[in-house]
Amino acid sequence: MGSSVIVVEHNPEVILASDWVIDLGPEGGNYGGRIVVQGTPEEVMKHPSSATGIILSKSYRTTWSEIPKSDSGRDRDREEQ
């Protein structure tokens, strides 16, 4: 058997790296606390009522598709360190 870790996280990069996401909402406080969608990050991104899915979709495009690359293909930020 494998191990499980439960994390409450709002950082899109951490959520995108997760195996399974449970999106609670649709809002906070008295207006939330219900499961809006659960599944892989890709499944959550496709759900039309998931605010998390919308944020993940934007973060996914920005995080992976729009990161400037140097000629060597490595991230520019890593080269500057």
Predicted confidence (pLDDT) per residue in 26-76, tens digit: 988 999 999 999 999 999 999 999 999 999 998 776 654 544 555 544 444
* Tokens (6 digits) for 59: 């973060």
Phi, psi for residue 22 in degrees, rounded to 5: -115, 115
Distance CA 27, CA 50 (A): 10
What is the pLDDT confidence band of residue 78, given thresholds at 50, 70 and 90?
Answer: very low
Distance CA 63, CA 67 (A): 6
pTM for this prediction: 0.68
What is the identity of the amino acid at 55?
A: I
Length of the chain: 81
- Omega prior to 26 cis, within 30 of 0: yes
